[in-house]
A and B are shown apart, each in its own frame.
Chain A
Amino acid sequence: MSENRVSVSRLRWDDYILEAILVALCVLLAFTAPGFATMNNVLNVLRNTSMQGIIALGMTIVIISGEIDLSVGSAVAFAGSLTAVLTKKLAAAGLSLPAAIAIAGVTTLATGFSFGVLAGLIRNKFKVPTFIITLASMTALSGFSMIITKGFPVSPFPEWFNFIGGGYLFGVPFPAIVFLLIFLLMLFLIRNTTFGRAVYAVGGNEEAARLSGISVFFTKTAALGLTSMLASLSGIMVAAQIMSGTPTTAKGWELDVISAVIIGGASLSGGTGTISGTFVGMLFLGVLINGMTLLNINQFWQYVVRGGLILGAVLLNQIKTMSARR
């Protein structure tokens, strides 16, 4: 929670409360939950959080810039479906499977990116809030997934494709490696580029940013395009993991993703939030769910606890800002 150190007066212990609680939780679970502190389980948690985590990193930038993207869950299902359907069609047209998958994958990523850009264009031109735009695209994309797959899983993938979603590299789940790489990339983007600074400025005070000669349109549209593309990447990896393009996957992911960003300290009104905060927020959610499952806690109660986590983390942040103002 500290890469934006320029905006923090100095390092304070209470900037790390969330991290401290996470560590405490891990220690607690190591002693109480059978099998929590095994390598296997740690890798499992990493794999499970990485699919959503990739999207959450992009969502952080969207939220800091003062916007929101509700369509990421549907975008995951759509991306998987599109990749599968395209691969099937291209292979049927005589292309080799690797070539078909490569073309399908790139097309899917480009489509995802352009959905985000389209949302940015509508936001800029007609001043429709992204909440509404992405609510619409969330619904529509879910429909498109059904249309192109005719409602059933499409499975044209060869065995080796599973690596992208379910494989290991040096003993680490491949999606976790992707998650870490994108984490570092986003960290760099938000810290060390003019785009990163513009994101904070636009989200913190759009008018002041505009009058400082910063392009509000470019900044927000780039953030939306990036997130939409990351959701598509996640969708391809999910499809590889379950070896099919399935139109019903990733239902409700947008809420998990947004929760992680909020737990990580971002404010929905824009201007504040950090990439590392989201990373911790995502891990927090993953560890909590994993721990509860190992402890055999009833599924229904798990939801209650997750709800408590979201509210608790936000209250924590709120109390912190309120006491800082005093």
Chain B
Amino acid sequence: MGEYKLEIEHITKVFPGTVALADFSARFEGGKVHALIGKNGSGKSTLVKICSAALQPTSGTIKVDGKAVSMRAPSDALAKGLAVVYQELSLIPEITVVENILLGRLPKKKGFPRISIDWAAACRQAETILQSVGSDIPLRVKVKKLSIGQQQVVEIAKAMSFNPSVLILDEPTSALARNETEGLFKVIRNLKEKGVAILYVTHRLHELYDIADTVSVLRDGKYVGSVEAAQATPQIIVDLMFGETIQRQRPQNLSFQEKVVLEVKDLSSGNHFRHVSFSLRQGEILGIAGMMGSGRTELLRSIFGIERFNPGGSIIVDGTVVKSPTPILMKKLGVAMTPENRKKEGIVEALSVHANLCLASLKAIARGNLLSKKREKPFVAEAIEKLGIKVADARNLISSLSGGNQQKVVVGKWLNTKPKIILFDEPSRGIDVVAKQQIFQIMWDLSHEGISSLFVSTELEELIEVSHRILVMKHGQIVDEVQAEEVSIDRLYAMCMEG
């Protein structure tokens, strides 16, 4: 113990338009669990992907067991002693635990032609591996029959079967129930004893004290520092994560009217969220804060009718009571939505900017279902002008635009329906700082025009900067409500995380 299993030296990763990692250096000892934390976009996942060779660094070196390694493909990473277990499991549900652990490496029976599988040997190998991680999961059941926690352990066992020096776990507990987390921690402690260096990426501060030995913090693609877990108070960690927070261009004269335009009453949906009630006033920007899995996205999608909510709940839009919304109905009532996954749900990539901007308002633009370019043009031109969409020719494919401009097209598409309320689900995801600020400016401008926004974001600073009021959502419930101007980032972070 004590020697460095993994040394990351001056790693830089540049993506078109952004620098994800800037001259990142850090060293990790064996026999310890190193928590790796940082807010969204701090470069955590890029770092993990570089360690697993899913991405190539622009420059810099990675050393395993003191030796510099060069890796071209994920299989190289495994061969050099780096194993990564991702947040989304990569197991094949329809085959057994044994086959999953030894996937592609099942032992064959001797003799010609070596094609039949030696199941006895396979079971012995898998058994040994599972025992070494301290687990008693049955070998011959299909993976789909296991709980998510057990699947996570199988995934770790599979990674450990390569005898890695470094094991990287990317948010392993994000989908686990509390008792499953405890089982997983046992496995991790067990591996620690074997001298493996474990990098543990997480969002959950309270886990750090249970499992981590050291806490390393990333911010804006840089290594900020690391502290012994025993000495890391929440205050120290939050300070490291956010640095000095600055209030940005929030306008002084943000205001809204008394009139309630949207009322959500006792909305519940399966195990996503329960008994959610709130109201939104005309021109108000209402933020919803909450970590991944808090139910915020599902709530927004249920309001727009993309997903169903349990009977009993209701949504009141401008006096109209809606019991089972659909996107078509909500559009009629003046509600719009920019979805979280822009590429999958927001835009039609095969179509032009022009066609995308008209997509939600075809019926409104047409006269008696008939369209013409002439009739569409003002709608397109106005959106491009008003939102500052950078496009040489509206006939260009939307896929040729930057993420920020695509997002503006999604907003523009909805502005053409003349909405009263817009639901923004992570509108700043994957777009650069300037575009982000422009999107916020649009939200403020809309507020002045009396258009209300419901704004979901993982980025707490954004919520504080943009919103009038913020609801705090945790484990599917709204647990608190704060005025954006009165809350600090650390306070809001703590509200979302605690408990």
Task: Enumerate chain A interface residues (CB-CB to B < 8 A).
Answer: 5-10, 192-198, 200-201, 204-205, 207-215, 271-272
Q: Are A194 and B395 in contact (CB under 8 A)?
A: no
Q: CA A205 – CA B341 in complex, angstroms?
A: 12
A284 to B366: give the CA distance in the assembly, Å. Answer: 35
B345 A207 Cβ-Cβ under 8 A? yes
Complex A-B: 25 CB contacts under 8 Å: A6-B354, A6-B373, A7-B397, A9-B395, A9-B397, A10-B393, A192-B371, A192-B372, A193-B366, A193-B370, A194-B366, A194-B371, A195-B369, A197-B362, A200-B355, A201-B355, A204-B348, A205-B349, A208-B345, A211-B346, A212-B327, A212-B331, A212-B359, A214-B362, A215-B328
Nearest B residue to A270 via CB reads B350
Contact B351 A204 (CB under 8 A): yes
Q: Does B358 contact A (CB under 8 A)?
A: yes
Interface centre among B304, B327, B363, B370 (most CB of A within 10 A): B327
B354-382 vs A: 1/0 string, CB under 8 Å? 11001110110010011111000000000
Contact status of A200 and B348, CB under 8 A, knowing A193-B369, A213-B331: yes
The answer for the CA separation of A5 and B354 in the assembled complex, in Å, is 10
Q: How far is the CB of A188 from chain B (nearest CB, A)?
A: 9
By the criterion CB–CB under 8 Å, are B327 and A210 in contact?
Answer: yes
B306 CB within 8 Å of chain A: yes
| Other-chain residue from B366, B395, B400 in contact with A5 (beta carbon distance below 8 A) | B395
- Asked if B330 lies at the interface with its beta carbon under 8 angstroms from chain A, I say yes
- Residue among B328, B362, B400 with the most chain A CB within 10 A? B362
Cβ of B347 within 8 Å of any chain A Cβ, yes or no, is: yes
Tell me if B226 is interfacial: C-beta within 8 Å of chain A: no
On chain B, the residues within 8 Å of A198 by CB distance are 362
Q: Does B344 contact A (CB under 8 A)?
A: yes
Assess whether A192 is in contact with B370, with CB atoms less than 8 Å apart: yes
Q: Is B471 an interface residue (CB 8 A)?
A: no
Kindly list chain A residues whose C-beta atoms are within 8 Å of the C-beta of B355: 6-7, 197, 200-201
Residues on A with beta carbons closer than 8 Å to the beta carbon of B400: 9
Which listed residue (B304, B306, B373, B393) contacts A9, Cβ 8 A? Answer: B393
Contacts of A7 in B (CB 8 A): 350-352, 355, 395, 397
How many of B's residues come within 8 Å of A, CB to CB? Answer: 38
Q: Identify which of B345, B346, B354, B417 gathers the most chain A CB atoms within 10 Å of its CB.
A: B345
- A271–B359 Cα gap in the complex (Å)? 14
Is B413 an interface residue when CB atoms closer than 8 A count as contact? yes
Q: How far is the CB of A134 from chain B (nearest CB, A)?
A: 24
Q: Looking at the assembled complex, report how far the CB atom of A3 sits from the nearest CB atom of chain B, in whole angstroms.
A: 11
Q: Lowest 6 A-B CB distances belong to which pairs?
A: A213-B331, A204-B348, A271-B350, A212-B360, A204-B350, A194-B362
In the bound complex, how far is the Cα of B339 from the Cα of A210, in angstroms? 12
Return chain A residues, CB-CB under 8 Å to B350: 7, 200, 204-205, 271-272
By DSSP majority rule, is chain A's interface helix, strand, loop, or mixed?
helix
A204/B339 contact (C-beta < 8 A), A9-B393, A210-B327 known: no
Q: Could you tell me the distance between the alpha carbons of A212 and B366 in the complex, rounded to whole angstroms? A: 16
Which single member of A10, A192, A208, A213 contacts B348 (CB below 8 Å)?
A: A208
Q: Given the complex, which residues of A lie within 8 Å of B417, measured CB to CB?
A: 213
| Assembled-state Cα–Cα distance A200/B354 (Å) | 13
Q: Give the residue among A6, A10, A212 with the most B Cβ atoms within 10 A.
A: A212
Selected contact of B344 from candidates A193, A205, A213, CB within 8 Å: A205
B396 close to chain A: CB less than 8 A: yes
Q: Which residues of B contact A272 (CB under 8 A)?
A: 350
B386-417: which have CB < 8 Å to A? 393, 395-397, 400, 413, 417
The reply on B337 being an interface residue by CB < 8 A is yes
**In whole angstroms, what is the CA distance A215 to B360 when docked?**
11
Beta-carbon contact of A193 and B397 below 8 Å: no
Complex alpha-carbon distance, A208 and B344, angstroms: 7
- Determine the distance from Cα of A9 to Cα of B330 in the docked complex, in whole angstroms: 33
**Considering the complex, which residues of chain B in the window 311-339 have a beta carbon less than 8 Å from any beta carbon of chain A?**
327-328, 330-332, 337, 339
Distance in angstroms between the alpha carbons of A7 and B331 in the assembled complex: 25
Question: Which residues of the partner chain A approach B369 to less than 8 Å between Cβ atoms?
Answer: 193-195
Besides the contacts A6-B352, A210-B306, A213-B327, what 20 more A-B pairs have beta carbons closer than 8 Å? A5-B395, A7-B350, A193-B371, A194-B363, A194-B366, A195-B369, A197-B358, A198-B362, A200-B348, A201-B348, A204-B350, A207-B344, A208-B346, A210-B327, A211-B337, A211-B346, A213-B328, A213-B331, A214-B359, A272-B350
Report A-chain residues with C-beta under 8 Å of the C-beta of B362: 194, 197-198, 214
| Closest residue of B by beta carbon distance from A207 | B345
- Quick check: B349 and A204 within 8 Å, CB to CB? yes
Assess the A208–B395 pair: CB atoms within 8 A: no
Please name all residues of chain A whose beta carbon is closer than 8 Å to the beta carbon of B346 when the two chains form the complex.
208, 211
CB of B356 to closest CB in A, whole Å: 9
A residues in contact with B337, CB < 8 Å? 211
* A204-B350 Cα distance, complex, nearest whole Å: 6
Considering the complex, give the chain A residue whose CB is closest to the CB of B327.
A213
Complex Cα spacing A50 to B382, Å: 44
Residues of A within 8 A of B349 (CB): 204-205
Is A208 touching B371 in the complex (CB atoms < 8 A)? no
B395: which of A8, A200, A201, A211 is its contact (CB, 8 Å)? A8
Pick from A193, A194, A198 the residue with the most CB of B within 10 Å.
A194
Are B366 and A6 interface neighbours, CB within 8 A? Answer: no
Docked pose: A10 CA to B394 CA in angstroms: 11
